[in-house]
Amino acid sequence: MADKIQMKTPLVEMDGDEMTRIIWKMIKDILIYPYVDLKSEYYDLGLEYRDQTNDQVTVDSAKATLKYGVAVKCATITPNAARVEEYNLKEMWKSPNGTIRAILDGTVFRTPIIVKGITPFIPTWTKPITIARHAYGDIYKNTEMQVKKGSKCELVCTDESGNETRSLIYDFADSDGIIQGVHNKDASIASFARSCFNFALDTKQDVWFATKDTISKKYDHRFKDIFAEVFEAEYKEKFEKAGIEYFYTLIDDAVARVVRSNGGYIWACKNYDGDVMSDMVATAYGSLAMMTSVLVSPDGVYEYEAAHGTVQRHYYKHLKGEKTSTNSVATLFAWTGALRKRGELDNTPDLCDFADKLEKATIKTIEDGVMTGDLASLSTIENKRTVDTETFLVEINNRLKEMM
Ligand code: NAP
Ligand code: MG
């Protein structure tokens, strides 16, 4: 087709697992290939190929992302003991997202997609809450041990000159136990702070940040101090001009305030808080499948994905030949986010325009009352119709065609 939208530069395409892998192909076949002459560098992050390549493919895909600047990723299995058996894995490979985030050293921003007819479980949340998750370190890069009764466990730090500093973790005199070592880097925390403050200026929203600095007087307190220093030195005046604020509090106070708020701000979270709170916030807004997610590195590299997993339960139904009604919105918005960003960076407005229209067609489909089962159970729209996975995408395409 001569009039397909052209791309100047490829984007990095990271394929994934289970039901989202099925959806991935449907999205491309039904909604992208007919309109865009897609240029992508393809990496298969499906668990089988990760295992075959000893997980090298994950590292390669992250490096390609650094090179091209934009990636779109499908949900992937993070193996546990059951998966090692199911896929006969050589090893319990690490979370691909963890590996990619460690290489890009970025910040993940998650924002719910709001549609008419779906009221958040917290009805006062009339504006989206964007969660910014620090995507480096803490328990995602930890070292753990199970220790035997009678062990004495210490933290040992050896400096450049070979001097040792020791600190007792615990003397396991009377019981077996567990220990873990975690770390973070000042530079990563500072770039996390900058990403959040930059994103806040872009979107004209306040930034909230919280840790447990009263209990963790060195580790968490360092996060608090670095945020304050970066804000004071680089952002205070810009924030005043933009009429937005930076607000710090304790994590438990933050949770209480978030529940009472109207939304409309960026909630900066440490890695684990962001992992947990993003699922809570997504569920409260309606469905995990309506949560967009983008990893932004300090040097402006973008990786788009859905916030949810591979929807394993639906996949097993699909394998049995049953129709599923799996929501593809977040995966679809990962694609539109990546295509729009590619268009912005390459100065190809056609591509940005296509991404806008595809998003509009998606929202229109749901607001017209055509939706997947997860949304149908939440939507207050009258005469709604629950459709299967593929029909939903075909319905979006029917509306997209009219807009093109
Ligand atoms: P999940 O895939 O997010 O699904 C959990 C449940 O949420 C589903 O069973 C389904 O509920 C509902 N759901 C999630 N996404 C949906 C969608 N698009 N449409 C409709 N319903 C949806 O989480 P999981 O089952 O705990 O994890 C499965 C695998 O995903 C795991 O191997 C995990 O490692 C991986 N994972 C990957 C990522 C990532 O790559 N970013 C993130 C999280 C998890 P019902 O069954 O009630 O319909
Ligand atoms: Mg999570």
Question: Please, what sign has the CA dihedral across residues 315, 319, 322, 323?
Answer: positive
Give 34's DSSP letter: T
Distance CA 238, CA 216 (A): 31
Cα-flanking dihedrals φ and ψ of residue 112, to 5°?
-70, 150
Ligand 1 pocket residues where CB is under 6 Å: 75-78, 97, 288-289, 305, 308-313, 326-327, 374
How much distance in Å is there from the Cα of 273 to the middle of ligand 1?
19
Distance CA 201, CA 6 (A): 31
Index of the ligand 1 atom closest to the CA of residue 305: 41
| Tens-digit pLDDT profile for residues 97-113 | 999 988 987 788 999 99
What pTM value is reported for the model?
A: 0.84
Distance CA 79, CA 312 (A): 13
| Tens-digit pLDDT profile for residues 357-397 | 999 999 999 999 999 999 999 999 999 999 999 999 999 99
How much distance in Å is there from the Cα of 314 to the middle of ligand 1?
9
Q: In this model, does residue 299 exceed pLDDT 80?
A: no
How much distance in Å is there from the Cα of 48 to the middle of ligand 1?
19
| Tens-digit pLDDT profile for residues 224-246 | 999 999 999 999 999 999 999 99
